[in-house]
Chain A
Amino acid sequence: MLKRLLLFLSLSVFSVGYSFAQEHEAHEEGAAHESHATAEEHGDGHEEEGFNMGSMIMHHILDEHGWEFAHGVKLPLPVILYSKEYGLAIFSSARFDEGNGEYGPYVNHHEKIALKDDHHATVYDFSITKNVASLILSAVLLVLIFTAVAKGYKKNAGKAPKGIQSLLEPVITTIKDEVVKPSIGPKYEAYLPYMLTLFFFILINNLVGLTPGAANLTGNIAVTLTLALITFVIVHFKANKNYWGHIFKPPGVPLWLLPLFWIIEIIGVFMKPASLTIRLFANITGGHIILLSFIGLIFMFKNYAVGGGVWAIGTFMSLIEILVAFIQAYIFTLLSSMYIGSAIEEHHDH
């Protein structure tokens, strides 16, 4: 309940901020937004009108080309583009920073790359953005962590777990025994590797996302959508005839009602991945927006009392966000398991 209230509040803050930002930016076009967006980081209070909460927040929760850890400290990342007009192009994101957002035929407008002469032409952007870099980093971290854990099991075979192995073993067994086993049923073992990967991937990215300067990966709808779609594909590839029968010929439904049921069931089928996508995305992004809004208050008011208040509330909210990081990873895994469980269930009790 509290979570929903906070999310609602944060989304309303965000939407007000965002529309304000758009209005504001309509007045001053161009590269000026860059300095507004990052005003928070160097905390300069020279330009009273300069701080724009909405664009600051959007800058932090959206993706970008190049990884700006703090203002002025930017790691350039490869930009990979494909367009019909110019084919494949690979160059460093530093080129955009040098060229004031323009390089060759391309223009980087609010981290959305288009062609300079034709704004409506499609440019496929496969760049290693901040999020992709963070994605690779988290994948490498996960591989390092879990191969170390696996090594621990080989080394301490038949003995008590040690080190990182004993840190993660209760988490692994909790996912295995409390989430996957009861939700999927007797055939749960085949799905364990996926569920464990999913859980730890979401968890590590939720936690990484909370560190300052890091990417907001699990708060990006493309990421959560992809994860939800993988679950969706598994569900429908593994579904047995009970599942399909339940959708196309639910037992005990009169024939003339069937079309209505098809509509409802098919909406239900697509609702599941949609809810997975939006739940994780909204929770993580919402949390980031709340935190950033409070921090933004400092730069809006430039007042010690507000600063102190923000410090207290910000610390509290950060702790809540750590909790949310675990809860959302858990829920995504639990619901994925339940969807798979319902698709491979042998008997329906009706």
Chain B
Amino acid sequence: MELLTPGIGLIAWQLLIFLTLFFVLRKFAWKGILSALKSREDEIESALKMAEETRAEMAKLKSDNEKLLAEARSERDAILKEAKEDANRIVEESKNKATEEANRILASARESINQERASMVDGLKKEVASLSIEIAEKVMKKELATKGAHSELVSELISEAKLN
């Protein structure tokens, strides 16, 4: 059957033309096409790689920033805490001081009041004494003959009578 028997002429031409076609295409077409495709692939790959690297760098920068921020925040917190403590301490101290001062003032006031009262009582005693003497004198003028005896008796009586 002719259909199934390969003809020698066609085999020869096919071999010749196909091989020629192969060498011509390899030199003038595939070389350029494949190298262009390859360089484009490499380009895309390197671009992708660079993008990946940039992304990693960005992530690193971001984490650095966050770390810095966290540090700053904790520092701020520490400073604030210290300041608050200082303020508290100052307030406490001044409060103590004020209390002390007040106590002191109170004490001195109390002392001076006491002194005053003592001197006042003293004065009063004297006044009362002199007044009593005057009264007694006036009384005695009428009732007593000797002024000295009577005043001695009165001052004795007054000193016995404590006014407190």
Contacts and interface: CB of A to CB of B under 8 A. Distances in A.
A and B associate in one complex: yes
Interface of A: 18, 58, 61-63, 80, 110-112, 124-129, 131-132, 135-136, 139, 142-143, 146-147, 149-150, 153-154, 157-158, 169, 172-173, 176, 189, 192-194, 196-197, 201, 220-223, 225-227, 230, 285
Contacts of B4: 221
B45 to A, nearest CB: 14
Given A139-B20, A221-B4, A124 B26 contact: no
Contact of B25 (A136, A189, A197): A197
B40 to A, nearest CB: 8
Nearest to B15: A226
Given A157-B36, A173-B37, A226-B18, A147 B29 contact: yes
Given A129-B10, A154-B32, A222-B7, A136 B26 contact: no
Given A58-B3, A127-B9, A146 B33 contact: yes
Contacts of B30: 146, 150, 192-193, 196-197
A132 B13 contact: yes
A201 B33 contact: no
Contacts of A129: 9-10
Contact of B14 (A111, A154, A222): A222
Contacts of A112: 2
A172 B37 contact: yes
A192 B18 CA distance: 15
Q: Chain B interface residue count: which class?
A: 35 or more
A61 B4 CA distance: 12
Contacts of A223: 10, 14
A126 B10 CA distance: 7
A201 B12 contact: no
Interface in B23-82: 24-26, 28-34, 36-37, 40, 43
Contacts of A146: 25, 28-30, 33
B21 interface: yes
Contacts of A111: 2
B21 A201 contact: yes
A63 B14 CA distance: 13
Contacts of A125: 7-9
A215 to B, nearest CB: 10
Contacts of A61: 3
Contacts of A18: 1
Contacts of B33: 146, 149-150, 153, 172
A230 B18 contact: yes
Given A112-B2, A132-B9, A223-B14, A193 B36 contact: no
Contact of A226 (B14, B20, B36, B43): B14
9 contacts: A58-B3, A124-B9, A132-B9, A139-B21, A143-B24, A193-B25, A196-B30, A221-B4, A226-B14
Contact of A153 (B22, B26, B36): B36
A153 B41 CA distance: 13
Given A139-B20, A153-B33, A157-B36, A220 B10 contact: yes
